[in-house]
Amino acid sequence: MTAGIRAEVKVDAAGTCPVVQASVSADAPTYSVSRSVSPESPDRVTEEFMLEADAPEADVELSKVFDYGDKKVYRFSREMGRGCPCEAVETFDTPVIDIRTREGMLYLVFHAAGMEELQSVIGSLQEKYPTVDVQRLLRSEHDRPDENLVFLDRGELTDRQREVLETAHRMGYFDHPKTANAGDVAEELDISRSTLSEHLAAAQSKLLDAVLDE
């Protein structure tokens, strides 16, 4: 088995990505985004995306090329090097394998060779875009069989549960020995200790269900 990490990240790219602009204009998600570069024009990229709307707006010229039930496929061509998130990821020689949008955000899936490369990709995106959030990670290792792969979907956690977990982790609540107790974390979050315990218990239960395949 080849070691590596499959990652999905959410990026706020409304100012640079025509697909996101079209999605926001139509108030609808996009599906099946594809990108290609012709050997005859290596300085340009052609993209297609599927949308449940007519005539969305973007800062490029869109042409409708296909009707697929209630969805439409649009195509556009633009110059390379405009700073879109896909290009930022691919500068690390990590091709983007899946692209979609939802609620004005761009979702990218790619494979990184390891944690160091993943951190470099995420760091590069964070330098360029106001919001970059890791949604899912699937890691494989040479010495582990397929049944030991674990898929964790951070989207299973509510925003509040994630905030509580992140704060507790940052303050050292999970360290041994602890560098922060429940009262410290609760005070930082401006909630009661009982509320903190409820959020931690719910979040940890969801994570353990994923890890233990309950």
- Tens digit of pLDDT for each residue in 69-113? 888 999 999 888 777 899 899 889 888 989 999 888 999 999 988
| Residue extents of the structural domains in the chain | 4-149, 153-212
Query: Is the model's pLDDT at 213 over the cut of 70?
Result: no
Q: pLDDT: is 163 or 214 the higher one?
A: 163
Query: Is the model's pLDDT at 172 over the cut of 80?
Result: yes
Q: Quote the pLDDT of residue 53.
A: 83
Confidence of residue 203 (pLDDT cuts 50, 70, 90): confident
Go through 66-86 and write b for each residue having 16 or more CB atoms within 10 A of its CB, e for each that does not.
Answer: eeeeebbbbebebeeeeebbb
Q: Are strands 96-102 and 105-112 parallel, antiparallel or unpaired?
A: antiparallel
Q: Quote the pLDDT of residue 119.
A: 87
Identify whether the C-beta of residue 151 lies closer than 8 Å to the C-beta of residue 138: yes
102 φ, ψ to 5°?
A: -160, 130
High-pLDDT (> 90) share of the chain, %: 22
Q: Does domain 153-212 have CATH number 1.10.10?
A: yes
How large is the C-alpha radius of gyration of the chain?
A: 21
DSSP state of 58: -
Mean pLDDT on 55-72: 87
Within 14-148, residue ranges assigned H as helices are 18-26, 85-90, 115-128
